[in-house]
Every structure is written in C-alpha cells, then in structure tokens.
Amino acid sequence: MRAIDAELIETIFGTRSASGKDPLANLNDEQRAAASHVEGPLLIRAGAGTGKTTVMVRRIANLVSQQFAEPEEILALTFTKKAAREMKERLEQQLGRETGKRVVTSNFHSFCADLLRRHGSAIRIPEDFSILDDSDLLTMLARVAQSHAICSPQDTTTLRAILTRISAYKEEGLSLDMVPSTDHAGLSAQLRADPPVSQDVLLRAWRELDALKRAASSLDFGDLIVQATRLLRRNPRVRAEVANYRFIMVDEYQDTSPVQDSLVRLLARGHDNVAIVGDTDQSIYEWRSARPEIMQNFPATWTNCRVITLGKNYRSTQQVLDLGNRIVEPLRRQDGLEKSLTGVSLGHAPVFRCFSSKIEEARWIAQRIAASVEAGQKPGGIAVLARTAAGLLDVKQALARAGLKTVQATDRAILEDPATKRALAGLRLSENRRDFAAFLRLASDLGASAAEIGRIEQAVVAGRDTIPEAATRLFRAARPMSAEAARWEALHLRLDAIVSTRDMGSVPEAIREIERIFRGDTEADLPAALRRVCEAAEPFARAIDFLEALALDADFRASFTEDRIVLSTIHAAKGLEFEAVYMPGLNEGVLPSARALATPHGRMEERRLAHVAITRAKSELVLTAEKGAESSYLAELGFVESAKKTVVKRAGRRLRRAF
C-alpha cells in the first residue's frame, strides 16, 4: 500500500508521467539538459541518429508531468505529416493515450490549413477551399497565359519559371500586393538560373492566376502559410486563440523558409518559449527555399537563447560516422561549427568498388545482397539509395533477376494512375463545386469540348455559378432538342451525379461511386491503385479531410516488410535507417549533381545529401561507381587516390573528362 501511494504521489507531484514513465530516464547528459529545459528560447543541434525525436517527446512529457503546462498548451510542429503522426504515437506511449492525444502535433501546412478552414472567412477564404498541387497550378496558369497573352500555353519552361518565382516570393512571406514592380535582391538566389521572365510578365500572370484561384475557391501550398500569417496579423481573435500555446517546439528547423520562421514568431508572440530542433548537416531542401542560416542565426535573433548540441549517435558504427563527418567537414568549418558525430560502437570498414559499366555495377550489388540474404540478413534491413529515381532502375532489375523482392520508399504511381486522378478530382468537385482545376482534370472524361470548358470558366470567374450550376444553366439556355442541348444535358447530369456523392455514407463509398459514374459498370473490380486509395480513405469521416491529407502528404509511403529490399532516393530516405546501405552511381555529375552544382546552393547541398545517405547505415555501407568517372567525394573520403578533373557541361549533357 505504501509503495502504491508513493508511486501515485510521484505521478501527481513528481517527475513521473501518468503512464508511469520518468520522462528524463535513460538520457545522456546533453539529452537530459535539452529535455529538462523549461522557459526561454532553446536551440537543439541534433545530428543524425542522436535521438532528437526522443528528446522532443521527453521534453513535452516533462513539461506536462512537472505541471509547467497542460497538454493543450503545447504545440509541436514538424515538416511532414508522417513525422507528426510518429510524434503523436510516441507521446501517447510516454504520457498515456488520453493525455498524449491532447498535445497538439501537426506539420506546418496542415496547421495553417486548419486555421484557415476555421477562421479564413475573416480574410475572405471559404471553409471548403481546395488545395492545388503543382500539376493543377501548371494547368490553370496555362489557361491564364492563353487568355491574357502572357506566353504560349505549351511553353511549359516559361510557365514553370513563373510558378517557381511566385513560389519563391511566397516562401519569403510576400503576397502579390507586397511584391515590388521591379525585382529585389531578397528573392531566393537559385532563381537566377531560371529562364528570364520580366517582372511585369510575372506580376500580370500572378494577378490573373490569383483571380482564377479565388473564383475556384482554391489555394496552393505557398498560400496556406502566407494567408495564415496574414490572418494572424489582422485578426485579434485568432491571435488570442493561438496565444494558448504557451510552449512551441519545431522539428527540422534547418528546412525552414522565411515565411515559416515568421509564422513561428507570430505564434510565439507574448512569450519566448520556443524550442527548435535541427541539423544544418541535413539541410537538403534549399531548392525549395529552405534556409539553413535561419537556424544558424537563431541564437542571435532570440535573446538569451540556450544552445545544446547532441553529438552522440546511437545508430551507426564509428566507421560509418567518420565518413559522414568527413563529407560535411568543409561546411562545418565554413559555418564555424565545432561538432562531430561520435558513435557508441565499432564495426566493419565501409566498402568501395569501381565497375566498367552501370550494368556490371548493378549485377555486383545484386550478387552481394543475395549472398547477404543467403547468410541470414533480412532483406528489409537493406536499402539501395541513389541521387535520383532513375539511378535505381538498373539495380532494381538486377535484384529482380536474382529473385529478390524490392519496395519503393514512396509510390507516386498510385496518385498518377488515371483512375485515381479521375476519382480524386471528382471527390474534390463534390466538396468544392467551384474547383475549376478539378473540373479541368475531369473534362476529357466528361466529354467537355474546349468551347464548353471556356464557357464554364467564364461563368465561374464571373462568380455567377458553381460549375454544375453553370452547366445546368447553359443546358437550359440551349435550343431545345439541338445537338448543343444534348451535349450540355449529358454534361450537367454527370456533374450532378458527381457532386451528389457528397451524401454517400463514407469516403471510400463516394470514391467507388465516382468511378462507377465514369466506367458505367457497377460490378467491375476497382483498379488496384484505386483500391489502395480507398483503403487510405477508410479512417476519414469527411472527404475534405482526406483530400487535405493527400494534398499535404502526397506520397504513399510504402509498407516496409522484412522480405523486401528498400529502393529509395536519398531525399525520400531522410529519417529512415537500415542495417546495410548501398550507394550506387557515385559518379561526378550524379553525386554531386551537375545540375545542382550550377545553382548557388548546390555545392553545399550535394555534400549534405551525401551525409544524409551515409548516415542512414547502421553497420554496413557499400559505395560503388563507374570506373573513370568517380565522384570527387570519393577522393575526399579516401577511396580513390585523386579525383580526376571533370568539366561538367550543362545539366543533361554528356560529361567530358579533362586529363
């Protein structure tokens, strides 16, 4: 009885959480210092494998168990929905399910989307807005370009350059009305490699694209954070709501853009209890406007900021870490950072091999993996990581010939499947009947002509009708019994059928019904990709929530199993770990990428990519290259005597070796 009472008292008043777990137990000195920090700004420099997620979870648990905060007063922001889900699961394990669920965990875009759905009407954003992806934006801009004589709608190079420039301005925190009529020096440096687009053309395209998006009740990814910051600045009621978050933690801060940093500062207005976690060695998204210098400068911009460095790696052997340290040492030296990952175990030296061709390289990798599996290694503990998806194809084929199963780390093919794209566009239109981008995706399947699409666009932009209403009105306006009337009747009936699926009993049922509307076959089995989408939709009560989850976390992350070798790009492998990692294609122009090296940030980012790939390995690391075209990194790592000087021509052109 005494023991039970003591345990209860410790749970209520002491350091033990409601689940009975001490939040500071089994941490090293640096981890404990970070997890026990309470008030004031905190920067946690957390290298690969140093337990950053553990520290974040333990710090939140400590704040709750020590009664510094209620769970609802803590906001934890991540960069992906997957990371937010993992953190929520670990909080529930640490604090107990009910308490852990009360902590607010989200990724940046989901947090902003939720804020806008609940309060966006204050700045004229409807609750049912759609979230456009890059493909939607390109399609809508092409229509704008044609109707307003901006450029040819087939000139995708110029269209993409315009979208890149617009996106970069938004990542700077600038909306259209804040952008000057002449370009300014603050625009992300990488854009200077884009095809030239005059500021006048850019602003005209942006203005007309925004008008079409407003008419279609649609936002893109960049809009979510820009508009959320605008909402917070303009609306005292919303500011008062977010002021309830007395403690804010943000993961992966090395990938923060200026507008995301501004959002964090707005959320922390009134207090400085902001803890950020990150590792500039793993900043690999500068091409997406990430700014590692924001994290670097955090101590200078937040008064009395405490800095704690986690340097003990619990994942990899020291031999692996030595390579990881060496490849980013020039960057650490440049930034004035004295840090180095140290391991807790020793292992085998990393292996390097050169081959006369990619086919020979792939065959050797497959043979080595087959031998490892034969010796008892689990296939699921092996990964092949390449700079690009194309760099995995030869190895994938060689593994298949060796009878070994593989799985892609992410599967974009599911969302690119025609049936999937059609069904999801229909689902979007049922939720937002002004979603012109969704209508454009459906237009060919609906049998809509270019003229009919144009007339519906006019009606939507004029704000008179929703898309189904426009089709119905145009049908009624057509001459009775004419071919035109028949076409409009067929179109409006199918559109009405699509939007009526909103009343179906579940999201998967609505998806199946949309597919039946187009296929006209109620008994046929769904395509495999669409079945996967229906399975993913099962947990969602509302279609709008499912569509938002897809839009903000668009890759279907594969289910890893013990019997399949993982194939992944380096970017997609970030955050993962494997017993054995193979890195094929370590050739100059591939890693480092010739295209990336042509940009201002590429030289540094390619080193970080190599660091990320190396530090995915726990115990075995195998590097391979084509003979005579070895990456200059291999010389730095001591695998080749000297790097041959290589002249890299433009991206996509052949490399010429200079002797």
Domain ranges of the chain: 18-116+229-310, 130-216, 342-410+560-637, 418-552
The lowest-confidence range among 38-52, 177-191, 398-412, 607-621 is: 177-191
Residue 333 has pLDDT above 80, yes or no: yes
Listed residue (650, 535, 49, 655) closest to 313, CA to CA: 49
Beta strands 382-386; 578-583: pairing state: parallel
The lowest-confidence range among 279-293, 386-400, 406-420, 453-467 is: 406-420
Instruction: Give the mean pLDDT of 574-595.
Output: 95
The lowest-confidence range among 32-36, 58-62, 364-368, 548-552 is: 548-552
The lowest-confidence range among 239-253, 490-504, 525-539 is: 525-539
The lowest-confidence range among 108-112, 206-210, 462-466 is: 462-466
pLDDT of res. 644: 43
48 is in an annotated binding site: yes
Per-residue model confidence as pLDDT tens digits over 275-321: 999 999 999 998 888 899 999 999 999 999 999 999 999 999 999 99
3 state SS of 619 = strand
Q: How many other C-beta atoms lie within 10 A of the C-beta of residue 462?
A: 10
Share of the chain above pLDDT 90, in %: 78
pLDDT class of 597 with cuts at 50, 70, 90: confident
Three-state SS string over 509-568 comes to HHHHHHHHHHHCCCCCCCCHHHHHHHHHHCCCCCHHHHHHHHHHCCCEECCCCCCCEEEE
Q: Domain 342-410+560-637: which topology?
A: Rossmann fold (3.40.50)
Residue 196 has pLDDT above 80, yes or no: no
Please compute, for residue 166, the number of CA atoms within 13 A of its CA located in the half-sphere on the CB side: 27
pLDDT class of 440 with cuts at 50, 70, 90: very high
pLDDT of res. 5: 42
Average pLDDT over all residues of the chain: 89
pLDDT class of 190 with cuts at 50, 70, 90: very low
pLDDT of res. 101: 95
Phi, psi of 562 (to 5 degrees): -65, -20
* CA distance to 220, 312, 656, per residue, from 646 (Å): 41, 37, 7
CA distance 295 to 291: 8
46 is in an annotated binding site: yes
pLDDT class of 383 with cuts at 50, 70, 90: very high
pLDDT class of 18 with cuts at 50, 70, 90: low
Share of the chain above pLDDT 70, in %: 90
**Separation of CA 653 from chain center:** 29
pLDDT of res. 564: 94
pLDDT of res. 599: 83
The lowest-confidence range among 194-198, 266-270, 575-579, 592-596 is: 194-198
pLDDT class of 523 with cuts at 50, 70, 90: low
pLDDT class of 3 with cuts at 50, 70, 90: very low
Per-residue model confidence as pLDDT tens digits over 130-144: 999 999 999 999 999
Q: Taking a C-beta distance cutoff of 8 angstroms, is the pair 655, 629 a contact?
A: yes
Sign of the dihedral through C-alpha 256, 156, 162, 120: negative
First to last CA, the chain: 82
pLDDT of res. 556: 56
pLDDT of res. 10: 39
pLDDT class of 88 with cuts at 50, 70, 90: very high
pLDDT class of 524 with cuts at 50, 70, 90: low
Q: Taking a C-beta distance cutoff of 8 angstroms, is the pair 10, 16 a contact?
A: yes
49 is in an annotated binding site: yes
pLDDT of res. 82: 85
Is 518 or 190 the better-scoring residue by pLDDT? 518
Helical H runs in 336-392? 358-374
Q: DSSP letter string over 149-210?
A: TSS-TT-HHHHHHHHHHHHHHHHTT--GGGS-SS--TTS-GGGGGSPP--HHHHHHHHHHHH
Instruction: Give the mean pLDDT of 551-575.
Output: 82
pLDDT of res. 416: 82
Is 650 or 64 the better-scoring residue by pLDDT? 64
pLDDT class of 415 with cuts at 50, 70, 90: confident
pLDDT of res. 127: 95
- The first and second tokens of residue 575, run together, are 């955050």
Please tell me the CATH code under which domain 418-552 is placed: 1.10.486
Instruction: Give the mean pLDDT of 607-625.
Output: 97
CA distance 644 to 642: 6
pLDDT of res. 655: 32
pLDDT class of 659 with cuts at 50, 70, 90: very low
Residue 645 has pLDDT above 70, yes or no: no
pLDDT of res. 131: 96
Listed residue (491, 441, 451) closest to 471, CA to CA: 491
Q: Look up the pTM and report it.
A: 0.88
Instruction: Give the mean pLDDT of 423-451.
Output: 95
Residue 651 has pLDDT above 80, yes or no: no
Q: Domain 130-216: which topology?
A: Arc Repressor Mutant, subunit A (1.10.10)
50 is in an annotated binding site: yes
CA distance 146 to 150: 7
Whether 18-116+229-310 shares its CATH topology with 130-216 is answered no
CATH class of 18-116+229-310: alpha beta
Per-residue model confidence as pLDDT tens digits over 204-254: 999 999 999 999 999 999 999 999 999 999 999 999 999 999 999 999 999
pLDDT of res. 7: 39
Residue 4 has pLDDT above 50, yes or no: no
